[in-house]
Structure 1
Amino acid sequence: MTPFGARLRTLREARGVTLTELARALHVSAAYLSALEHGHRGRPSPGLIHQVNEYFGLIWDDAEEMARLARISHPRVVVDTSGLSAEATALANRLARDIRRLPPETIAALHAVLEAVPPKG
């Protein structure tokens, strides 16, 4: 599941909207929305994000959050470690190999470590 897909499902279920109803309103297939929710499709288009925001009446911060979630929701990520250390490349490969086995608390801890890194710039 992707962050965008999880949020879409939460919104849809909280409002009692079925996949078929939402698909009809957005002029897409229910299969496509299901694939988005389950992380089997890549990032949605900006147009679809806008449609989702309008359908659910999301404005300001909530609409921007949906756009942010879409940006970080590509289920097949490529990490370019060219020019980085051997350790960085090994870490990227290890994460790619083992991410499916990591428990939620480990993933949360890794997020916390990365959040503590000062922004580039």
Structure 2
Amino acid sequence: QSLKFPPEFSTKVDLTKVNWDTLKPWIAKRITELLGGLEDEVLIAYVYEQLDGKKTVDPRQLQISLTGFLEKNTSLFCKELWQLLISANQTGTGIPQRFLDEKAEELRRQ
């Protein structure tokens, strides 16, 4: 059985351009959601470790290394994460556009 990877994975990402203060809470929240509300601090720390302080990472390797933990949700998580990382590389602020849009909407509602 061969793994299928999303087309986004062919896009290279410079992790040094990512604002991790905005992305780490999303990673923790999303993993907790995918684990049915169980907050797995060890897994969350492991994901941070795979990304933090590196210039680049192979998303395919990341997906393979997380499969034992997130099982059927691994490809979904990795695809969402990679889309955010691509966006963070494109905004110039290191913050994914989706987060900027959500914050702008939140401020408009106040």
TM-score normalised by L of structure 1: 0.36
Higher relative contact order (CA 8 A, sep 6+): 2
Structure having the higher helix fraction is 2
In terms of Rg, which structure is larger? 1
TM-score, normalised to structure 2's length?
Answer: 0.38
